[in-house]
Amino acid sequence: MEGVIDMTTFDLATQTVRELNQYLHQPASELAGREVVVANPNGAHNLAVGLNAPVHVTVQGHAGYYAAGMNQLATVVIEGSAGTGVAENMMSGRVHVKGFASNAAGATAHGGLLVIEGDAGLRCGISLKGGDIVVGGSVGSFSAFMAQAGRLVICGNAGDALGDSLYEAVLYVKGDIKSLGADAQIEPMTSADIATVAELLNAAGLKTAHDPSSFKRIASARTLYHWNADADQDY
């Protein structure tokens, strides 16, 4: 790989996740430009968490819970599927799941880009705070629940209560939406929206697979911004 200074392989058949993460928690100056390969992950939890360096990590298989959580600056590629909470609370960098992702993918992400080539489970992008998520497949119910900022592109379908209690995050869905959550509404796609979808699809490597103009825009109707005593909890 161009620009890689060093390559290190951790084989989790003989080494521990602690050893892997301790190596990845070295000062950024020690890790910059390096490539780390994780062999035989076998669904281990907490792989490559809390990274804060421009390092490239490749997980050669499936990851368990909370892979690449709290990521900053790093690029983490998971060549299989990922369990609950992949890229949770990501601040920057890129996390790319080649397979499927379980519940709460990208939860509370403040920045960076999460790419999921397959489907994502329930609550994808829950409480999103500024990151970008591109899902090549479909997402489960309550995705983008209370999403405050950021963008979620869904190339497949969406389950129940999409975007429930949205704030300023914007969602783009190509397929069918089973139902919208409270205060979420479909809005017209503008030229700026089409350009945004094209940009995100291109960043995810999916631009040639989808027409950006075929997506629907979902955003907040902004009726939940302030408490309304007369609403009797009926929104």
How confident is the model over 163-220, as pLDDT tens digits? Answer: 999 999 999 999 999 999 999 999 999 999 999 999 999 999 998 999 999 999 999 9
pLDDT digits (tens, 9 = 90+) for 57-100: 999 999 999 999 999 999 999 999 999 999 999 999 999 999 99
- Residue 103: count other Cβ atoms within 10 Å of its Cβ: 18
In tens, the pLDDT along 104-133 reads: 999 999 999 999 999 999 999 999 999 999
Amino acid at 175: G
Residue 10 has pLDDT above 90, yes or no: yes
Q: In the CATH hierarchy, which top-level class contains the domain 103-225?
A: mainly beta
Q: Give the C-alpha separation, 143 to 161, whole Å.
A: 7
Question: For position 233, what pLDDT does the model report?
Answer: 57
Q: Which tens digit of pLDDT belongs to each residue from 32-63?
A: 999 999 999 999 999 999 999 999 999 999 99
Backbone φ and ψ of 8, nearest 5°: -130, 140
Q: Do 102 and 84 meet the contact criterion of CB atoms below 8 Å apart?
A: yes
Q: Report pTM.
A: 0.93
Does position 157 have pLDDT exceeding 70, yes or no? yes
Residues of the chain with CATH 2.160.20.60: 103-225
Give pLDDT, residue 44: 98
Let me know: does 29 contact 52? Beta carbons within 8 Å: no
* Strand order across the 149-154 sheet: 7-11, 35-39, 56-59, 75-78, 94-97, 113-116, 129-135, 149-154, 170-173, 216-220, 184-187
What 3-state class would DSSP assign to 62?
coil
Are the CB atoms for 156 and 119 separated by under 8 Å? yes
Position 2 confidence tier, pLDDT thresholds 50, 70, 90? very low
H or E stretch at 192: helix 191-204
Q: Is 212 helix (H, G, I), strand (E, B) or coil?
A: helix
